[in-house]
Amino acid sequence: MELYFTHILCHSGEGQFKIGNTSYSIKKNDFVIWLIGSDVREFFLSPDFKATYLLVSYDLLSKNNPDIGWGIKGFLFTQSNPVVQLNKTFKLRCEANFNLLYQKYNDENHKFRKEILNRQAEIFVMDMWNILAQEMENRDVNQTRGSIFERFLSMVQEHCMEHREVEFYSGKLCITAKYLTEVCKKNSGKTAMDWIKNYTTRRIVLLLQNKNLSLTEISDTLHFSSTSFFSRYVKKALGMSPSAYRNKLQ
């Protein structure tokens, strides 16, 4: 059975659903993304609820993902933020992309149907990232007033694919690496490096699950100096080599 990413653009009315133990509401101009495997429960809609739905297969979305790094950022952001309120410009753009994908998919007589559908899927993915990137920036602005620990976690989520040194984050926060580690220990019982490794490992696991990516491509995406260093890092984090982890998934 093929699985799909579900996208919902609300035009009117209200809705509500739960993923895990968290409740979310839907209202006009909200853009909802349910990732494959999301445990969506208690889904209720008002009688006047109207929306456009778009289901996209993992194969179509992953094969037309022009940037692995941004794909991971968007995936992880959506895990925690499945509902985003759209402004008028983004709503119109989202509607247009939905309609174009639908048209290209149904145009079975087009000699280059597959190719043009793939190109349209790329545009759809990049427009989604643009929406999510702006939402991330808005939330980053709001978090500047937060605690050092909250700001640190936000930075790690954003930059751990490129930077895995405590000094990078302490420099951004204008504090010493030692003080940052003390703050993390006080707030969570974990060190700053523990948190960096935690977020990095989550991204490694997601990338290894994508069989279309070679280990060299994953290593390059995560800015490791070499594939062998990447393999050593993974073995330490997961207790096995990258290839062994992939074999385990099979």
118 and 12 within one domain: yes
- Rg of the chain over Cα atoms, rounded to whole angstroms, equals 20
Binned average pLDDT, 10 residues per bin, the chain of 250 residues: 84 91 90 89 90 87 78 82 92 92 91 91 90 78 65 87 93 92 90 93 87 88 91 92 86
The pLDDT, as a whole number, for residue 76 is: 80
Please tell me whether residues 195 and 222 are part of one structural domain: yes
Q: Please state, in angstroms and rounded to a whole number, the distance separating the CA atoms of residues 30 and 8.
A: 8
- Give the residue from 203, 201, 231 showing the smallest Cα distance to 216: 231
Q: What pLDDT does residue 142 have?
A: 52
Residues 57 and 165 placed together within one structural domain of the fold: no
Helix, strand, coil in percent for the chain, rounding step 5? 60, 15, 25
CATH of the domain at 178: 1.10.10.60
Please identify, among 84, 113, 143, the residue that sits at the C-terminal boundary of a domain: 143
Give the CATH number for residue 124: 2.60.120
Last residue of a domain, one of 127, 143, 159: 143
Question: Among 125, 143, 161, where does a domain finish?
Answer: 143
pLDDT of amino acid 83? 93
Whether residue 126 sits in one domain with residue 20: yes
Is 37 in the same domain as 126? yes
Per-residue model confidence (pLDDT) at position 14: 92
- Looking at the fold, whether 26 and 46 belong to one and the same domain comes out as yes
The reply to whether 134 and 161 lie within a common domain is no
Q: Are residues 104 and 181 in the same domain?
A: no
The per-residue pLDDT for 52 is 93
Backbone conformation region of residue 244, classed left if phi is above 0, alpha if psi is from -120 to 50, else beta: alpha
The neighbouring-strand residues paired with 217 are none
- Pull the structure tokens for residue 84: 């985003």
Q: Transcribe 43-109 into DSSP letters.
A: EEE-TT-EEEEEEEEHHHHHHT-S-HHHHHHHHHHHHH--EEE--HHHHHHHHHHHHHHHHHHH-TT
Asked if 181 and 74 sit in the same domain, the reply is no
C-alpha 180/C-alpha 176 separation (Å) is: 6
- pLDDT value at residue 241: 92
Domain with 228 in it: 148-249
30 and 130, same domain (yes or no): yes
Q: How many Å apart are CA 186 and CA 168, to the nearest integer?
A: 20
Q: Are residues 121 and 152 in the same domain?
A: no
The number of folded domains in the chain is 2
Are 58 and 117 within one domain? yes
Tell which phi-psi region holds residue 226, choosing left (phi > 0), alpha (psi between -120 and 50) or beta: beta
